[in-house]
Amino acid sequence: MNDHFDTLETRPAEAREAALLAALPGHVAHARTHAAYFAERFGGIDAAAIRSRSALAELPVTRKSDLSTQQIARPPLGGLNATPVGGLAHIFQSPGPIYEPDGHGSDWWRFARALFAAGFRAGDLIHNTYSYHFTPAGRMIETAAAKLGCCVFPAGVGQTEQQMQAIAHLRPTGYTGTPSFLKILLEKAEELGADITCLKRASLSGEALPPSLQQWFHTRGIIARQLYGSADLGLIAYESEAQAGLIVDEHMLVELVEPGGMKPVAFGEIGEVVVTNFNPDYPLIRFATGDLSAVVAGESPCGRTNMRLKGWLGRADQTVKVRGMFVHPGQIGEIGKRFPELGRMRLRVEGRIGDDRMTLVCETAAAAPPEGLAARVQIALRDLTKLRGEIEFVAVGALPADGKVIEDARAYD
């Protein structure tokens, strides 16, 4: 069995850095020439001069949190796409809403590298529980599996008992999806006495994977590895058998900057993950993900030589991820527009991995809220976030006036 996906993973770090920096001027020029957004953003910039990290750090940042506004102003993709919509394969939608393109070609999001590092090989059958509806996650894994020569059962989300039945019948060796849903499947199988011990490896994303849960999977015979990616960027970083941080993808240039700012932080400090991809269809340059992380010093014991991240260390803004879906402060603001009788609101997210619980706390001047109001607000919350949550009414002034719209009170240990 080969230890690495390709020779790029083990090349000298200096060679990788030189190759990425050499590609920067052409990539910036391509984005400025073919993408309307970057034509405006980089109008006065000399692309040929962007040959170092310090020069790159002078370019403005594009924030994921601004994509929805950009796309409303210039539909459908905000002018960030260099390939016209007619030349793309698909357009997907994530909550926000934010629209993301999919181009033609093999493994367009480059997830095959992460699946390989998680132990997937040609001939494996993968039980893929990422969504195949609206969001691109299901297709991301589908195309990566095809690149490796794996077969996929397109399970999607939900329908726990039917999924267990399929696993018991088909005997897949691999699982792809969120950690929480894998935990639900395993607990349900133990409860019902179903045999799904065929699952031996898992590539997990969409949520934090604390060491305690990773060990919990291990005690049930499953080697679980993390994958860090996004619908706009594709693969950003991944975990190998060394379990020593997340290794940055070979086709990404990653910076860690001051949260909400532009300036790179000192080595080892926590910063916001800012990524420059080299995708000619969707050339995102200095794209701020909103995720916080830090660099792990040195090289991975597995032999891969690229930069490593410590993993997800929080959000630079109030956006949170619940059961694999991003929830934005703007979505809570939209609920306020729909229900002007409500005052200040705060979405409280509690629990642990596999048991996320959302409660929307709403101030109201009414001593007794009108009958049916809670149900209508709950429907609006689910409509906007694609997630179920409870509704709690409190008196005006009960919530602190601190500007916080989303409170992440989950335990990650």
The rounded distance, in Å, linking the Cα atoms of 152 and 132 is 12
pLDDT mean over 285-298: 94
pLDDT in tens, 367-402: 888 999 999 999 999 999 999 999 999 999 999 876
For residues 84-101, average pLDDT: 95
Say what the pTM is: 0.82
Backbone angles phi, psi at 273, to 5 degrees: -75, 115
Q: Which tokens is 235 given? A: 């693969």
- 238 vs 313: which has the higher pLDDT: 238
The C-alpha angle with vertex 85 and arms to 80 and 87, in degrees rounded to 5, equals: 115
Residue at 251: amino acid letter: H
Mean pLDDT of 98-119: 97
For the record, the structure tokens of 133 come out as 């509806």
pLDDT tens string 134-150: 999 999 999 999 999 99
Reply yes or no on whether the pLDDT at 1 is more than 60.
Answer: no
What's the whole-number average pLDDT of the chain?
93
Query: Of all helices (H) and strands (E), which one includes residue 62?
Result: strand 62-63
Distance between CA 334 and CA 411 in Å, rounded?
28
Q: Domains plus CATH for the chain? A: 72-316 (3.40.50.12780), 325-408 (3.30.300.30)
What is the distance between the alpha carbons of residues 101 and 38, in angstroms, rounded to a whole number? Answer: 17
User: What one-letter code names the amino acid at 194?
Assistant: A
pLDDT band for position 78 (cuts 50, 70, 90): very high
